[in-house]
Amino acid sequence: MNVRRVGILTAGGDSPGLNAAIRAVGKAVITRHGMHVVGIRDGFRGLVDGRVVSLDSDSLAGILTRGGTILGTSRDKPHRMEMGERTIDMTERARENYHNMHLDALVCMGGGGGHASANRLLKAGLNVVTLPKTIDNDIALTDTTIGFDTALSVATESIDRLHSTAHSHHRIIVVQIMGHNAGWLTLGAGLAGGADVVLIPELPYDLEFIAESIRQRSLGGRGFSIVAVSESAKPHNPDDLSIDGALPIDEPTFEYAGTTLALTRRLEELTRLEARLTILGYLQRGGTPSAFDRVLATRLGAACADALANGTTGVMVAARGESTDLVPLHQVAGQRKTVPLDHPWVAAARDIGLCLGVPLDL
């Protein structure tokens, strides 16, 4: 297949480094491979609506360091798209627009949902290549994802800052960290920031066990504790978090605040230490990408352009060590990379005596 004209879209939650990736794909296809490139606005919504913008060397300049995505994004899925009052399968419209835009290939930069949608479009006959981006680091078959490193730094710096105030006030500070259903961000930031307790969705926690580890710290003369908790971490026994007989109300759109707030209150009751809650939220996703994410995005983007020039589609451009790998898209779609309990980060946390919410006999 001879790829002459490429479209780029960004789908799902934004993540730092997306603009670096758009820039890399765009510059490499234009300058190295002599192709044309256009941007599609607001993810798959823009493909269905036919919203296209031209991209050239000028529009791709000056975006390397910018957070967010110059193309805009959305969580819309072509096969289940809200159109006014109704939810409709718009795959056929997406396919028509792809042809109306005279595209030979479509580059989708997405997370878990984005990969599932891209795979559907692949099955519908579009030539698709994906780049893994999400601060959650939960995409299968890639070493890491664009945005994770930046978010990890933000969360780590936040824990650093929370230490001094927790220490001064002899408090527990619970800090809620993003990550969807994977604990990478929380575990990484907990290790890097020296949190005392780290709670991840892969290890449902025991409240009394956490309280006891905090009490032991107090008895040892450390009257403060930092508890880093993933947004979707849960207790093994939901009743542990009931307050006055009621269980917390949780909604992802409200940043899972109910469960984390209940955790904070229950720890205060059980330890008799004052406890405070900090939800990092969208601070983790916003702002300028780290040097690592800029380099990663540039590497993956350049490899993506090479794949297109070779006529290879139906793949995700994965990070593999210092190199890249082309992984069949169908092997990635629908998979989620959570933290394996035998992962070296878990072992290191256990070995240094960090409380992971449950006794670990691994």
Nearer CB in complex with ligand F6P: 27/180: 180
Amino acid in position 125:
G
Provide the minimum distance between the beta carbon of 182 and ligand F6P in the complex, in angstroms, as a whole number: 9
Token representation of residue 296: 């990663």
Give the separation between CA 74 and CA 117, rounded to whole angstroms: 12
Task: Output the CA–CA distances (angstroms, integers) from residue 8 to 146, 238, 266, in the order listed.
Answer: 16, 43, 47
Nearer CB in complex with ligand F6P: 74/218: 74
Tell me, yes or no, if 136 is annotated catalytic.
yes
Residue 155 has φ and ψ, to the nearest 5°, of -65, -40
Nearer CB in complex with ligand F6P: 179/201: 179
Catalytic residue among 42, 76, 136, 240: 136
Give the separation between CA 99 and CA 36, rounded to whole angstroms: 15
Helical packing angle, 291-309 and 148-169, nearest 10°: 160
Provide the minimum distance between the beta carbon of 176 and ligand F6P in the complex, in angstroms, as a whole number: 11
Is residue 186 within 8 A of residue 229, CB to CB? The reply is: yes
DSSP 134-197: -TT---TTSS--BTHHHHHHHHHHHHHHHHHHHHHHT-EEEEEE--TT--HHHHHHHHHHT-SE
Give the separation between CA 19 and CA 1, rounded to whole angstroms: 27
3-class DSSP state for residue 113? helix
Provide the minimum distance between the beta carbon of 168 and ligand F6P in the complex, in angstroms, as a whole number: 30
Give the separation between CA 266 and CA 279, rounded to whole angstroms: 17
What are 77's strand-pairing partners? 80
Is residue 20 within 8 A of residue 289, CB to CB? The reply is: yes
Nearer CB in complex with ligand F6P: 49/231: 231
Provide the minimum distance between the beta carbon of 198 and ligand F6P in the complex, in angstroms, as a whole number: 16
Provide the minimum distance between the beta carbon of 148 and ligand F6P in the complex, in angstroms, as a whole number: 10
Closest residue to ligand F6P: CB criterion = 178
Provide the minimum distance between the beta carbon of 285 and ligand F6P in the complex, in angstroms, as a whole number: 5
Q: How far apart are the first and last CA of the chain?
A: 50
Task: Output the CA–CA distances (angstroms, integers) from residue 45 to 50, 93, 94, 109, in the order listed.
Answer: 8, 11, 9, 14
Nearer CB in complex with ligand F6P: 75/320: 75
Give the residues lining the site for ligand F6P (CB under 6 A). Answer: 13, 75, 111, 134-136, 178-180, 231, 252, 285
Provide the minimum distance between the beta carbon of 12 and ligand F6P in the complex, in angstroms, as a whole number: 6
How many alpha carbons fall within 13 Å on the CB side of residue 345? 17
Nearer CB in complex with ligand F6P: 221/252: 252
Give the separation between CA 300 and CA 146, rounded to whole angstroms: 9
Which residues are the active-site residues?
136
